[in-house]
Structure 1
Amino acid sequence: MGEVVNTLKVMPESPEVDLEALKVAITDAMPEDAELHEITEEPIAFGLVALNVVFIVEDGEGGTGPTEDAINAIEDVASAEITDSRRLM
């Protein structure tokens, strides 16, 4: 099996959400089998900023599900969805 690099777009509940605190919560919520690579900010509109979370997991059963579930469970997260997934060579 190989590794897969994924980008998860995280939309906060509102523009008032503290993005630095949300980044810490995301880092803390990452499952053990997921390796966090980076978190970048993406302006959306009207002050709302999404976070793009890039992480690496083993290619296999379960895939990105546990990571998506963990991030979606964070209080200030409105949604989290995979926007890109690529196999590492």
Structure 2
Amino acid sequence: MGEVVATIKLMPESPEIDLEKVKAEITSSIPENTELHSIEEEPIAFGLVAINLMVIVDDGEGGTEAVEENLSKITEIASIEVVDVRRLM
């Protein structure tokens, strides 16, 4: 099997949450067989800022499922969406 890079968009529950705290929780919730490549902020509207993260995972069984499951446990996150998946060469 190969590796893929997945871009995941996390939408916070409100504009008032502490994004630095959420980023720290994201970093600590990445499974050990997954590499966190980057975390970026994306302004949406009315002060709401989404968090886009890129992770490198094995494209075998489960793919990004373990990452999504761990991220769903962060209470300040309203939604999680895998927006892009690409195979690494």
- What range is the shorter-chain TM-score in? over 0.9
Matches within 5 A, 1:50-89: 50-89=50-89
Matches within 5 A, 1:28-67: 28-67=28-67
TM-superposed CA distance for 1:72, in Å, is 1.2
TM-superposed CA distance for 1:46, in Å, is 0.4
TM-superposed CA distance for 1:55, in Å, is 0.5
Cα distance in 2 between the residues matched to 1:12 and 1:34: 22
The AA in structure 2 aligned to 1:75 is T
TM-superposed CA distance for 1:26, in Å, is 0.2
TM-superposed CA distance for 1:51, in Å, is 0.3
SS in 2 for 1:25: helix
TM-superposed CA distance for 1:33, in Å, is 1.1
Q: Paired residues, what number?
A: 89
Cα distance in 1 between the residues matched to 2:73 and 2:80: 10
TM-score (normalised: structure 1): 0.98
Cα distance in 2 between the residues matched to 1:65 and 1:14: 25
Give ranges in structure 2 of 5+ residues lacking alignment.
none
Q: CA RMSD in A?
A: 0.5
Deviations 1:11-68 (A, max 9, x none): 0110001000000000000111110000000000000000001000011001100101
Cα distance in 2 between the residues matched to 1:8 and 1:33: 17
Give ranges in structure 1 of 5+ residues lacking alignment.
none
The AA in structure 2 aligned to 1:60 is G
Runs of 4+ aligned structure 1 residues displaced above 6 Å come to: none
